[in-house]
């Protein structure tokens, strides 16, 4: 993940026990960092908070384990009681929190939230989720889960959640990630068998046809200069969308 305040990328290795930094992200430019504890282990998706100017990463196998870094190298633990895999943040303009907005984190035990960037409290929901995204246009969070369900979950405050049934078409595989593309006013999700979907309101979703052999998508990014969405997962396969879906 990119840390704009430092002009630096920070990342973790495949098994989540070592951290690295790089100014360019090209081969040969990565430098190993220093985990904050001997039992450091991360398998969550990294998230950069522009408010706190930190990168956060969670763990889905060991409870009470969330780490943050302000320099990309030294990760320090945060307080949490639930497994955390993915996060997003509502800004201060949302009116949530105590002036700095609210980070919402999801995992196998349900969503958590933080109003100070250090302490993550359990929400009122125990619905397991894989990924969450905040939409400033709709002023709400949308969460998804990789279990083959056709439901999504929405919340205006990150604490109280509502299930939206039949949001996806029947027969889809589980969705692993969701993002909000502000330039297009769209949610985009992806998952197993390279099945990607888009939604204007987070409640009703349309599948983007076309598959990429060997890709189970774990994350994605929209590149406005190219007018394309790109996604990757385990292995070396990367997918790029056709421009006609997003222009």
Summarize pLDDT for 97-109 with one digit per residue, the tens: 777 889 999 988 8
Rounded to an integer, what distance in angstroms lies between the CA atom of residue 31 and that of residue 72? 10
Burial (CB < 10 A; 0-12, 13-18, 19+), residue 7, is exposed
- pLDDT greater than 70 at residue 237: no
Rounded to an integer, what distance in angstroms lies between the CA atom of residue 58 and that of residue 245? 32
- Residue 203: band (very low, low, confident or very high) from pLDDT cuts 50, 70, 90: very high
Q: In what order do the strands lie in the sheet with 8-12?
A: 2-3, 8-12, 19-22, 31-32
Q: What is the pLDDT of residue 140?
A: 95
Name the residue among 245, 184, 191 with its Cα closest to residue 218: 191
Q: What is the pLDDT of residue 80?
A: 86
- Residue 189: band (very low, low, confident or very high) from pLDDT cuts 50, 70, 90: confident
pLDDT average, residue stretch 186-207: 84
* R_g of the chain computed on alpha carbons: 17
Mean confidence (pLDDT) of the chain: 81
Beta bridge partners of 197: 189, 207
The secondary structure of the chain in percent helix, strand, coil, rounded to multiples of 5, reads 5, 40, 55
- pLDDT greater than 60 at residue 110: yes
Q: What percent of the chain has pLDDT over 70?
A: 79
Q: Who wins on pLDDT, 188 or 219?
A: 188
Q: What is the pLDDT of residue 122?
A: 95
Q: Who wins on pLDDT, 214 or 175?
A: 175
- Residue 195: band (very low, low, confident or very high) from pLDDT cuts 50, 70, 90: confident
- Report pLDDT digits (tens) over 25-43: 887 788 887 655 555 667 6
Residues in the chain, overall count:
247
Token pair for 188: 């985009």
Q: Are 76 and 57 in contact (CB under 8 A)?
A: no
Q: Which residue has the tokens 């201060």?
A: 92
Max mean pLDDT among 14-18, 75-79, 237-241 falls in: 75-79
Q: Who wins on pLDDT, 226 or 200?
A: 200
Sequence-ordered alpha helix ranges (H) in 52-142: none
Burial (CB < 10 A; 0-12, 13-18, 19+), residue 196, is buried
Of the given ranges (80-84, 92-96, 231-235), which has the lowest mean pLDDT?
231-235
Rounded to an integer, what distance in angstroms lies between the CA atom of residue 85 and that of residue 16? 13
Q: What percent of the chain has pLDDT over 90?
A: 28
């Amino acid at each position: 993940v990119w840390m704009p305040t430092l002009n630096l990328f920070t990342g973790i290795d495949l098994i989540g026990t070592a951290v690295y930094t790089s100014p360019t992200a090209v081969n040969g430019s990565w430098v190993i960092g220093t985990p904050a504890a001997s039992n450091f282990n991360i398998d969550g998706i990294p998230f950069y908070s522009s408010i706190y100017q930190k990168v956060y990463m969670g763990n889905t196998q060991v409870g009470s384990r969330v780490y943050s870094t302000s320099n990309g190298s030294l990760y320090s633990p945060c307080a949490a009681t639930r497994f955390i895999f993915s996060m997003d943040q509502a800004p201060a303009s949302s009116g949530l929190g105590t002036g700095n907005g609210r980070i919402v984190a999801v995992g196998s035990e349900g969503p958590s939230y933080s109003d100070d960037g250090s302490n993550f409290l359990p929400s009122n929901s125990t619905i397991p989720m894989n990924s969450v995204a905040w939409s400033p246009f709709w002023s709400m969070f949308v969460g998804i889960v990789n279990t083959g369900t056709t439901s999504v979950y929405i919340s205006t405050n990150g604490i109280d959640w509502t299930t939206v049934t039949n949001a996806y078409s029947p027969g889809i595989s589980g969705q692993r990630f969701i993002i909000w593309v502000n330039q297009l006013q769209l949610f985009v999700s992806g998952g197993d068998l390279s099945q990607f979907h888009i939604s204007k309101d987070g409640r009703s979703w349309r599948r983007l046809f076309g598959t990429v052999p060997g890709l189970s998508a774990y994350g994605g990014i929209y590149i406005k200069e190219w007018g394309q969405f790109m996604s990757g997962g385990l292995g070396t396969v990367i997918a790029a969308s056709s421009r006609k879906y997003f222009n």
